[in-house]
């Protein structure tokens, strides 16, 4: 299972005076089991791209091949695409609507026309994958849960479809620090257990740096760069020209390097930074400042 996006172009309101090019010449590949982080500021085309990946939008040019199937080809079954590619929108808890958690999570699988026993099994599996206890949660109203729990229930609703690709659009936006950490951990767990391709869009550079195998940077509807977190976050000037920052810890270690610290370039975690700084200082290293 892999994804190949080739030369994607999308124009909004084509032929109208307000016509605007949202994506142009977008090409990239995601390999089996990878976690792809996507960054870009608001209006860069990230959301338009996500909506192409699950067939909500059709490109004006280019192709998207997922697991050998070109989902942009005419006549391709949308139901089939949606079954294989699960998209979790921003603030997905706004879409909770059922009386109980179990019914809400079951909504998607039920629409697939599965047998009751199969539906129950999937609901149980999905709730447990997102870190919620099935017995404890199933009969509760989704509306009496905390913000972080609601979001997990909403994500479970997508996971219960057993998608081969899971796409999450800013899954931690608006959560408090604890819920933020819990949801990130959940994404790692789900990715680890299913081994599926996961696509994560976030404004939080530290999260992107820590979770992603590869990072895709988008600006004005085009791919700016793509690579491992180390590769991408070593391009500070390029990122800054498209309005993106380095992760906070990387900002700090780069500032130290500018002041003469001989430490590794593009450090992405606090623990690595502490190792490098401590080693440098203990070896008698002094800044020339």
Partner 1 sequence: MMDSIIKIENLIFEYRKEEEEQPVKAINNISLEVEKGSFTAILGKNGSGKSTLAKNLNGLLLPTGGTVYVNGYNTADEEHIWDVRQSAGMVFQNPDNQLVSAIVEDDVAFGPENLGIEPAEIRRRVDKALEDVNMGPFKGKSPHLLSGGQKQRIAIAGVVAMKPRCIIFDEPTAMLDPKGRKEIMSIIKELHEEGITVVLITHFMDEAVNADRVIIMHQGEIFMDGTPAEVFGQGEKVKSVNLDVPMAVELARALRQRGIEVPEKIIGTEEMVEYLCQYK
Residues near partner 1 (CB under 8 A): 41-43, 146-148, 173-180, 203, 206, 243-245, 248-249, 251-252, 255-256, 259-261, 270-271, 273-275, 277-278, 281-282, 286-287, 289
User: Between residues 136 and 279, which has the closer beta carbon with respect to partner 1?
Assistant: 279
Distance of closest approach, residue 155 Cβ to partner 1, in angstroms = 18
Task: Name which of 195 and 248 has its Cβ closer to partner 1.
Answer: 248
CB nearer partner 1, residue 29 or residue 276: 276
Smallest gap from residue 86 Cβ to partner 1 (A): 24
Nearer to partner 1 among residue 114 and residue 252 (C-beta): 252
Q: What is the closest distance, in whole angstroms, from the C-beta atom of residue 7 to partner 1 in the complex?
A: 28
Q: How far is the CB of 55 from partner 1 (least distance, A)?
A: 26
SS3 sequence, the chain? CCEEEEEEEEEECCCCCCCEEEEEEEEEEECCCCEEEEECCCCCCHHHHHHHHCCCCCCCEEEEEECCEECCCCCCCHHHHHHHEEEECCCHHHHCCCCCHHHHHHHHHHHCCCCHHHHHHHHHHHHHHCCCCHHHHCCCCHHHCCHHHHHHHHHHHHHCCCCCEEEEECCCCCCCHHHHHHHHHHHHHHHHHHCCEEEEECCCHHHHHHHCCEEEEEECCEEEEEECHHHHHCCHHHHHHCCCCCCHHHHHHHHHHHCCCCCCCCCCCHHHHHHHHHHHHHCCCCCCC
CB of 261 to partner 1, least distance (A): 7
* Closer residue to partner 1 (CB): 111 or 241: 241
């Amino acid at each position: 299972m892999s994804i190949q996006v080739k030369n994607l172009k999308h124009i909004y309101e084509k032929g109208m005076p307000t016509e605007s090019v949202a994506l142009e010449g977008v090409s990239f590949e995601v390999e089996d089991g990878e976690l792809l982080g996507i960054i870009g500021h608001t209006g860069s085309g990230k959301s338009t791209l996500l909506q192409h990946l699950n067939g909500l939008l059709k490109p004006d040019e280019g192709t998207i091949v997922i697991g050998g199937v070109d989902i942009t080809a005419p006549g391709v079954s949308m139901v089939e695409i949606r079954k294989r590619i699960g998209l979790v929108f921003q603030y997905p808890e706004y879409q909770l609507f059922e009386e109980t958690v179990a019914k809400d999570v079951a909504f998607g699988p039920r629409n697939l026309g599965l047998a009751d026993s199969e539906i129950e099994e999937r609901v149980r599996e999905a709730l447990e994958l997102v870190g919620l206890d099935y017995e404890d949660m199933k009969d509760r109203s989704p509306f009496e849960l905390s913000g972080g729990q609601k979001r997990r229930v909403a994500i479970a609703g997508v996971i219960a479809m057993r998608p081969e690709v899971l796409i999450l659009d800013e899954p931690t936006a608006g959560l408090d620090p604890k819920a933020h950490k819990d949801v990130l951990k959940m994404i790692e767990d789900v990715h680890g257990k299913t081994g599926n391709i996961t696509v994560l869009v976030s404004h939080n550079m530290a999260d992107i740096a820590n979770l992603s195998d590869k990072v895709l940077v988008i600006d004005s509807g085009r791919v700016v760069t793509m690579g491992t977190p180390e590769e991408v976050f070593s391009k500070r000037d390029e990122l800054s020209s498209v309005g993106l920052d380095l992760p906070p810890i990387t900002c700090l270690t780069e500032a130290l390097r500018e002041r003469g610290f001989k430490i590794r370039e593009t450090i992405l975690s606090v623990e690595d930074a502490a190792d490098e700084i401590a080693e440098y200082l203990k070896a008698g290293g002094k800044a020339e400042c």
